[in-house]
């Protein structure tokens, strides 16, 4: 093991005596090249999970990019691409593409051509480095309570502050050895991550298919079907009726106390207690809130497309953007059906979105006009919902375990990167 020296930098600690410590601005240059006149309309995106990718491959879509890309910047293969608004949450990666990116992105290259750009990219991938950036910029930070991880971070970090940070500089030969080793190690971990994610996707797909079958056909596999006459519903149980949300649900207007628990209707299809560990983010004041009780149906007027529909398990207060409802039918059936419409992509087809990846159902008149297939018997509704509750609970339990595996692997990958780019571990010598 090499002799170590203390850097007196909290996130970095000790590095090998033979390594250097330099400011980023002295080893990496920012390259600003505008896409004007337009050289490419191939838009790139960047996420902590996927790295630098074509925009069309971005998971979950995101806001629609601007049609005029003349103000965008150019990114080349071999550039370290960094989102100045999301560096703290890991939005940094090495580009394999030539394309254009948002002006909030930084493109970095080593001054020395013999330096290995992969080594510097790995430094920026380490969690401890990312956390060290907190406080350098202005913006929004939501800190997840309990496990200490940072989540949902929007904090622009100016390049002059970023460039003034110190990073460890391994000798040129060591940079390549470290990068080669981490490429192989991270590829192995990424393969495991991909396999687990595929298993999660299969489970999610299975859960959705079970819901789809049950809320349109019931639990009898041999049931006779009929055409519902509604394009987004399709064939349904021939003994069922077609109704509308407005016929079976009543929009409520509940009062509340300022001291009531603040709740949110999340994209996970749950009503949750609002995270209070929020810095710099505007939240709804009481004048924009309403009461909600345990057992009420919550339908988010803007995030309907993403499945933000749930049965509340809490009493509290919630934003008025959410429709709080009661129903004469089994309320679980209403929630399951409206979530089914979300993952079928129906809401985007029957609404006028205000952004590229949303739907606008803030008007109750639009919500109450949605058709729903309905078993005429409350007993049958209960039987279907009890069945779905059991299936979904078990599937979600398995999915949660697999997500924990993903988290452990991600932490292991980040820790491995940190240990080698800071010289705390040496690359094994091949025999």
Strands 235-237 and 44-47: unpaired
Is the pTM of the predicted complex or chain greater than 0.85? Answer: no
Does the structure show a pLDDT above 50 at 149?
no
pLDDT, tens only, 188-234? 999 999 999 999 999 999 999 999 999 999 999 899 999 999 999 99
Cα 79 to Cα 425: distance, rounded to the nearest angstrom: 27
Kindly list the structural domains of the chain, giving each domain's residue range(s) and its CATH number in brackets, ordered by start. 4-169 (3.90.220.20), 172-198+380-431 (no CATH), 219-374 (3.90.220.20)
Q: Is the pLDDT of residue 142 over 80?
A: no
- At 217 the three-state DSSP class reads helix
Output the DSSP codes for 243-293.
EEHHHHEEE--B---TTSPBEEE-TTS-EEEPP--EES-----GGGEEEE-
User: Alpha helices, DSSP H only, in 344-377?
Assistant: 346-349, 364-367
Strand partners, 47: 51
Express as a percent the part of the chain with pLDDT over 90. Answer: 76
**Overall average pLDDT of the 29-49 stretch:** 92
Burial tier of 79 (Cβ tally within 10 Å: 0-12, 13-18, 19+): buried
- Per-residue pLDDT band for 348 (boundaries 50, 70, 90) equals confident
């Amino acid at each position: 093991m090499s002799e170590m020296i203390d850097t007196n930098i909290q996130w970095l600690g000790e590095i090998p005596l033979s390594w250097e410590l330099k400011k980023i601005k002295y080893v990496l240059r920012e390259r600003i090249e505008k896409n004007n006149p337009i050289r490419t309309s191939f838009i790139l995106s960047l996420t902590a999970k996927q790295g630098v990718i074509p925009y069309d491959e971005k998971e979950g879509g995101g806001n629609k990019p601007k049609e005029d890309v003349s103000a965008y910047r150019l990114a080349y293969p071999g550039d370290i691409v960094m989102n100045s608004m999301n560096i703290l949450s890991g939005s940094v990666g090495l580009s394999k593409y030539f394309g254009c990116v948002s002006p909030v992105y930084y493109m970095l290259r080593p001054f020395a051509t013999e330096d290995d750009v992969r080594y510097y990219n790995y430094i920026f991938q380490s969690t401890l480095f990312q956390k060290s950036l907190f406080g350098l910029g202005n913006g929004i930070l939501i800190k997840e309570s309990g496990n200490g991880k940072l989540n949902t971070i929007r904090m622009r970090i100016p390049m002059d502050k970023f460039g003034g940070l110190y990073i460890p500089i391994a000798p040129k030969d060591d940079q390549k050895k470290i990068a080669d080793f981490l490429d192989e190690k991270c590829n192995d971990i990424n393969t495991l991550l991909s396999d687990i994610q595929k298993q999660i996707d299969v489970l999610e797909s299975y859960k959705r298919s079970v819901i789809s079958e049950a809320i349109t056909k019931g639990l009898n596999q041999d049931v006779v079907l009929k055409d519902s006459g509604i394009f987004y519903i399709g064939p349904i149980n021939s003994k069922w009726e077609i109704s509308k949300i407005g016929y079976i649900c009543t929009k409520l207007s509940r009062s509340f106390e300022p001291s009531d628990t603040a709740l949110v209707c999340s994209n996970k299809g749950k009503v949750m207690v609002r995270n209070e560990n929020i810095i710099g983010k505007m939240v709804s004041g009481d004048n924009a809130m309403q009461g909600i009780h345990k057992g009420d149906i919550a339908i988010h007027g803007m995030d309907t497309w993403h499945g933000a529909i749930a049965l509340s398990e809490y009493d509290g207060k919630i934003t008025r953007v959410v429709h709080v409802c009661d129903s004469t039918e089994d309320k679980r059936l209403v929630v399951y059906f409206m979530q089914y419409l979300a993952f079928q992509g129906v809401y985007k087809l029957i609404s006028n979105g205000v952004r590229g990846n949303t739907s606008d159902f803030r008007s109750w008149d639009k919500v109450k006009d949605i058709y729903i297939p309905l078993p005429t018997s409350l007993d049958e509704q209960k039987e279907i919902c009890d069945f779905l509750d059991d299936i979904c609970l078990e599937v979600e339990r398995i999915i949660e375990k697999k997500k924990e595996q993903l988290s452990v692997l991600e932490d292991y990958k980040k820790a491995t990167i940190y240990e080698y780019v800071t010289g705390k571990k040496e690359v094994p010598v091949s025999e």
